[in-house]
Structure 1
Amino acid sequence: MRKNFVQEVHFLLAACVSGGSLLASYAHAAETTVAPVSLNSAQVVNAPISAPPEAEKAAGTPSDGEEVPAAVNSEDDAMKPTVGNLFHPKAGQAPNYWQGLEAHVSVEGGVTGNPWTRSGRNFAQYYTDRANTATLNQIMGSISHPVTSVGKGYGLGFVFEAMYGSDARFDPTIGMGSGSLHGLYQWAPTQAHIDAHLPWIFKRGIDVQVGQMYGIMGAEGTPAQARPFYTFNYASDYIVPFETVGILATMHLTQHMDWILGVDAGNSTTFGASGNNNKPKGYFGFAWNKLLDGKLDMHAIGHFGPQGNNGRQVQSAEGWLSSGLGKPANSLMQYNGDFMATYHVNDKMTVSVNGTYLHDDALRDDVYGVSTYFSYAFHPWLTLNARGEIFRDNSGMVIAEYSSFNSFTQYLTNKPYPYYSAMPTTYGELTVGVTYKPEFINKKLALGGFIIRPEVRLDKSLNGTHPFNQAGTVANPIVNNGTNNMFWFSCDATWAF
């Protein structure tokens, strides 16, 4: 592998050129440096993600002497025009609530290079699973309104967002348009929630969200700007909820501490006939914000409940099985825990640590990992990012390759699905990349901004298994005749306003 280093560098450059020719990303990401950020609270995670930085500043937490409730704009700052606003009231004109309405569009495309694969796949990846293939990952559009004061300490906002592209294959919510498209490019609603600030019980009140929301665990999110790399770490791909439908409350106990509670239908499912079983799930956790003079953010969050499908197992003509467990699925628990700490060393450097754990009674598996992140902004237009991860799948039942366009949706809906997985494996992963905002392009853009993110990544089995670069079959879906490492290159390009 070392002998081909020059060839590998040439391949990376070619991949970046190909990826750079595609548009990409999410909302205002092109205007900010992409770096791992501690998820301070459910409100931060699921607030209108497309809201620009100006809106986020207006929605800040008050100091001890202030009366403005957290996450609600003050009367003076309410509905100030920002990037993405559909309406721009004239100077001196009092804006009404609906003039704070925002619309955003973002596009992400990328390419991965893996010359050594014999399967055509990058094993243990959802969104970037297609090796040596340029893809249109995301076209995201949103209509939103930041949580804004409506009087007497109450605030109201909302987010409606949908995605089209190759990423939608792995981000469905069952019962919400799932399975309507069947190719590489599909669509999925990603957010549809009402947000409210309630001046109840605590001095800083309670933020409540009702509807479909992104999961609030893990270090890396679905939108391109919600992660520092094109590729995902194992934990964010496999053992934290992607989407939930339910209610989430963030109680602001103090200026620096939040209590998070939620009830939902489970990962990527809804209630009733579209649910996976008849038992509720939910979040419980705490977040600590701006400790140590504003430099440290942390959260500790758990998600608990039965996650298996209570339908009967079905077999296809080819021999593939569905995920149905029957009635035992209603009581077989899944326990998910996530801890993250982010320390802002200075204005240029950020260090983060994320630990994630999953126990699944149905699979009889324990899965856990630790990821570390380093980010350094050399210039406003250039940031170095590095990620290291160690991840253990005790029984080999969680880390799998969903090998058809519809495998993941079929898995969630108890239909037979093709896949292949690995022996019990301890994975190691190291990724290094940059976030580059080319000024010579962005200065000429009339709307939005453009980002390119090349990266180099090495995945390795640390316990001698060989799961990479080889596909399984229906007769033998457990792969151990591949390679013990996967050295590959990726690059995505994003444009957003």
Structure 2
Amino acid sequence: MVSLAPAEQDKIVEEKAQTGNIFKRKPGAKHSYWDNLEGHLTVEAGVTGNPWTSSGRNFGQFYADRANTVTMNQIMGSLSHPVEEIGHGYGIGFVFESMYGSDGRFDPTIGMASGALNGLYQWVPTQAHIDFKLPWIFKNGIDVQIGQMYGLMGSEGTGALTRPFYTFNYASDYIVPFETIGIVATMHLTDHMDWILGIDAGNSTSFGQSGNNNRPKGYFGFAWNNLMDGKLNMHIIGHFGPQQNNSLAKYSPSCGGNSGNLGVIPSCTVSAGLGPDANGLMQYNADFLASYKINDKMTVTVDGTYLHDDALRDDVYGVTTYFAYDLNPNLTFNARGEILRDNTGGTIVEYSSFTSFTRAISNQPYPYYGAAPTTYGELTVGATYRPDFINRHVSFGQFTFRPEIRLDKSLNGTHPFNQAPSGGFQQGVVNNGMDNMLWFNADAIWNF
């Protein structure tokens, strides 16, 4: 495909011009839009070590829930093109990305191949959006994304290298939206301030029969970039709308058609459907994040998150602080501390089967167990190591290793860790375990 630019831009460009990693432009050739096409691949495998668990689970975790188990977390591939001007200030780009691995269990979008695989390793599409640059209204214009995209909130991303640790903090697992389908506009009010607006189908759902209810959801927020000579970046973003399923509750066949058997028959499970009332039960998410670069080696980040859910009658809120220190170009020391409160115990739960999370958001009966109202504390220390003695001999991609030590603790005397529900029950509350969870984790990443 020839350049999409107008005739005055259709010219020979210098060889140092930006190009992607798929097509190589021949010397002296005219620049084509497809010169900037990029392909990337990331492979992550990891292990969690928790010798004190009797449940085989690391409570309060999505992606790293399997204790003492080596897992291939993700093979993530993407095909993308950065936004490139096509004339008169307009630009266009796109991203298509999908993932296979154990992380796929917790990153589905209902209606987009959800449930295609049902084992430990699942496949999910993670991004499919078209990006536009529009020279409208503001000096620096407006950026628009349309399609399926990652949630805008939080400090830890789904991709292996978009976070400092193998394991996630509680807020990134349970509070902020994972995937949304919709439209997001970023209006560049000034050189350093953006206004963010969006409308979408909700967290991990789409439209019609694959939606959770018939009411819209959306983002509203602001971001400040490169303040204080580029040392400070921050945002405050909210996501609002009814999030629960408006279908009627469903019961597993083991309930015998009698909802009263729930809590009596161990294998009896119920779905999360609330009926038409769900359309008016709001969920509010809020996220404030600030990252400050102390010097060329040290960075401190603070992330405060909040969730209120009318349906669960629950408030969940917490603060996570990160510290990163570059010991040398190949080794970074990382530390994370978090305090998070789950007021009713209805949000921090363990989705105990391979398909529990997908079934929960698609109104199917699912096994899970939760905790009593708990204030969680979490401290993680680790390192990101990019071994030069390996990578200098690797001509394709780069290896990264991340060992960590993590301690989770109940700060208000509950005992949710390292114990499954008693008597074989598939849904319930655990408070007869331990008040802390010390575990040792590591992952290995190859990325191109």
The Cα of 1:81 is off from its aligned counterpart by 2.2
Match of 2:205 among 245, 253, 269: 269
Note if 1:193 corresponds to 2:144. no
Show the counterpart of 1:31: none
With over 3 angstroms needed to count, the CA separation of the structure-2 counterparts of 1:348 and 1:467, relative to structure 1, is: same
Letter paired with 2:225:
N
Match of 1:489 among 424, 440, 448: 440
* SS of aligned partner of 1:236: helix
The Cα of 1:80 is off from its aligned counterpart by 1.8
With over 3 angstroms needed to count, the CA separation of the structure-2 counterparts of 1:121 and 1:198, relative to structure 1, is: same
> CA offsets per residue over residues 359-385 of structure 1, 9 Å max, x none?
000000000000000000000000000
Letter paired with 2:90:
Y
Equivalent residues of 2:367, 2:426 under 8 A apart? no
Letter paired with 2:446:
W
Letter paired with 1:416:
P
Distance in 2 (alpha carbons) for counterparts of 1:77 and 1:442: 27
Equivalent residues of 1:79, 1:100 under 8 A apart? no
Note if 1:441 corresponds to 2:390. yes
Identity of aligned residues (%): 70
Letter paired with 1:157:
G
Alignment of 1:285-324 (within 5 A): 285-316=221-252, 317=254, 318-324=267-273
Show the counterpart of 2:99: 163
Tell me the matched-pair count: 421
Show the counterpart of 2:164: 228
Equivalent residues of 2:46, 2:441 under 8 A apart? yes
Note if 1:422 corresponds to 2:371. yes
> CA offsets per residue over residues 424-468 of structure 1, 9 Å max, x none?
000000000000001111011110000000000000000000000
Equivalent residues of 1:79, 1:99 under 8 A apart? no
Match of 1:328 among 260, 277, 280: 277
Equivalent residues of 1:401, 1:421 under 8 A apart? yes
Match of 1:356 among 295, 298, 305: 305
RMSD of aligned Cα (Å): 1.2
* SS of aligned partner of 1:284: strand
The Cα of 1:91 is off from its aligned counterpart by 2.7
Runs of 4+ in 1 over 3 A off after TM superposition: 75-79
Alignment of 1:6-45 (within 5 A): none
Distance in 2 (alpha carbons) for counterparts of 1:408 and 1:455: 26
With over 3 angstroms needed to count, the CA separation of the structure-2 counterparts of 1:145 and 1:475, relative to structure 1, is: closer
Alignment of 1:391-402 (within 5 A): 391-402=340-351
Equivalent residues of 1:160, 1:193 under 8 A apart? yes
Equivalent residues of 2:39, 2:79 under 8 A apart? yes
Show the counterpart of 1:281: 217
Show the counterpart of 1:149: 85
Letter paired with 2:193:
M
* SS of aligned partner of 1:292: helix
Match of 2:294 among 345, 364, 369: 345
Distance in 2 (alpha carbons) for counterparts of 1:114 and 1:368: 27
Distance in 2 (alpha carbons) for counterparts of 1:201 and 1:271: 31
Distance in 1 (alpha carbons) for counterparts of 2:39 and 2:426: 49
Letter paired with 1:308:
Q
The Cα of 1:298 is off from its aligned counterpart by 0.5
Alignment of 1:453-464 (within 5 A): 453-464=402-413
Structure 2 gaps, min length 5: 1-12, 255-266
Structure 1 or 2, whichever has the larger Rg, is: 2
The Cα of 1:92 is off from its aligned counterpart by 2.7
Letter paired with 1:178:
S
Distance in 2 (alpha carbons) for counterparts of 1:77 and 1:201: 34
Equivalent residues of 2:336, 2:379 under 8 A apart? yes
Letter paired with 1:481:
N
Letter paired with 1:367:
V
Distance in 2 (alpha carbons) for counterparts of 1:218 and 1:204: 26
Distance in 2 (alpha carbons) for counterparts of 1:166 and 1:158: 26
Show the counterpart of 1:479: 430
Letter paired with 2:315:
D
Note if 1:122 corresponds to 2:58. yes
Structure 1 gaps, min length 5: 1-74
* SS of aligned partner of 2:274: coil
> CA offsets per residue over residues 76-129 of structure 1, 9 Å max, x none?
7996224xx211102332221012111111100000000000000000000000
Distance in 1 (alpha carbons) for counterparts of 2:427 and 2:209: 33
Distance in 2 (alpha carbons) for counterparts of 1:91 and 1:442: 29
Letter paired with 2:242:
P
Equivalent residues of 2:15, 2:27 under 8 A apart? no
Match of 2:174 among 218, 229, 238: 238
Letter paired with 1:486:
M
Larger strand proportion, structure 1 or 2? 2
Show the counterpart of 2:262: none
Equivalent residues of 1:79, 1:97 under 8 A apart? no
Equivalent residues of 2:105, 2:122 under 8 A apart? yes
With over 3 angstroms needed to count, the CA separation of the structure-2 counterparts of 1:199 and 1:428, relative to structure 1, is: same
Distance in 2 (alpha carbons) for counterparts of 1:262 and 1:311: 25
Distance in 2 (alpha carbons) for counterparts of 1:77 and 1:191: 31
Note if 1:389 corresponds to 2:338. yes
Equivalent residues of 1:190, 1:212 under 8 A apart? yes
Equivalent residues of 1:247, 1:264 under 8 A apart? yes
Show the counterpart of 1:173: 109
Show the counterpart of 2:418: 469
Show the counterpart of 2:19: 81
Equivalent residues of 1:281, 1:305 under 8 A apart? yes
Letter paired with 2:342:
D
> CA offsets per residue over residues 197-235 of structure 1, 9 Å max, x none?
000000000000000000010010100111000000000
Show the counterpart of 2:3: none
Distance in 2 (alpha carbons) for counterparts of 1:77 and 1:143: 23
TM value normalised by structure 2 = 0.93
